[in-house]
């Protein structure tokens, strides 16, 4: 039986739901960890519903948090098995939200952080139809050797647009993961944009948020948001 996911949400600022942005949190956190990003992007995405589901399982390493799958050895086999195990619950959640909103994947964006990025890439690349965008913060691609089954395509026959951001000082998932993921996707003919914040650790900084918000707006076919003005 597939677990039903729940979590915090932010209604469209305009009052009219035209897009859905789903946040997938990192290991040991929960849906509350990322939902506030939605408030920062509302001005750029006024018709978007922002949803941040809690992962289904309690985290053994952080009992107050959640996990999409356990992390013990953190080897490639464990990551792949974990992603495969977690995928059905996320797919069902996305299916239900799209059906409730009477929208299709072209109006869906998936945003992940760390382990959530692993799941956003894993699920987004294997949906029946490609989402409008996949945005990953501080994560990595799981199972590059299985990319032959990453067949999600949009109406133009293209894979989902992907943007990966990473900190150059990431102490949890080293920055090499960014370049390896981009290279592996390219070998599978899946284009990937990336952004590197040189002094950032395992997190999301202001520039990552700006790059991410602009990326989502562009791929929803919205006007490119103006960058915030710097104050002296």
Report the catalytic residues: 114, 170, 202
Give the residue among 217, 19, 26 at the shortest CA–CA distance from 120: 26
1-28 burial code (b ≥16 CB/10 A, e <16): eeeebebbbbebbeeebbbbbbbbbbbb
CA distance 17 to 157: 26
Give the residue among 215, 191, 199 at the shortest CA–CA distance from 166: 199
- Are 140 and 169 in contact by the 8 Å Cβ rule? The answer is no
End-to-end CA distance of the chain: 56
């Amino acid at each position: 039986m597939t677990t039903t996911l729940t979590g915090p949400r932010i209604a469209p600022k305009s009052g009219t739901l035209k897009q859905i942005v789903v946040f997938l949190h990192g290991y040991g956190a929960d849906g509350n960890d990322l939902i506030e990003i939605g408030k920062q992007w509302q001005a750029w995405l006024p018709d978007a519903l922002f949803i941040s589901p809690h992962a289904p399982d309690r985290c053994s390493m952080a009992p107050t948090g959640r996990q999409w799958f356990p992390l013990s050895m953190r080897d490639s086999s464990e990551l792949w098995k974990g992603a495969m195990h977690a995928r059905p619950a996320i797919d069902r959640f996305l299916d239900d939200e799209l059906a409730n909103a009477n929208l299709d994947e072209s109006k869906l964006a998936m945003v992940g952080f760390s382990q959530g990025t692993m799941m956003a890439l894993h699920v987004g690349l294997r949906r029946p139809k490609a989402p409008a965008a996949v945005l990953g913060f501080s994560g990595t691609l799981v199972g590059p050797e299985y990319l032959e089954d990453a067949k999600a395509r949009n109406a133009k026959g293209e894979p989902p647009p992907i943007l990966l951001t990473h900190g150059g000082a990431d102490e949890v998932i080293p920055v090499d993961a960014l370049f390896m993921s981009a290279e592996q996707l390219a070998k599978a003919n899946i284009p990937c944009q990336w952004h590197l914040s040189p002094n950032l650790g395992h997190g999301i900084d202001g520039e990552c948020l700006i790059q991410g918000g602009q990326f989502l707006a562009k791929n929803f076919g919205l006007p490119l948001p103006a960058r915030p003005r710097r104050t002296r």
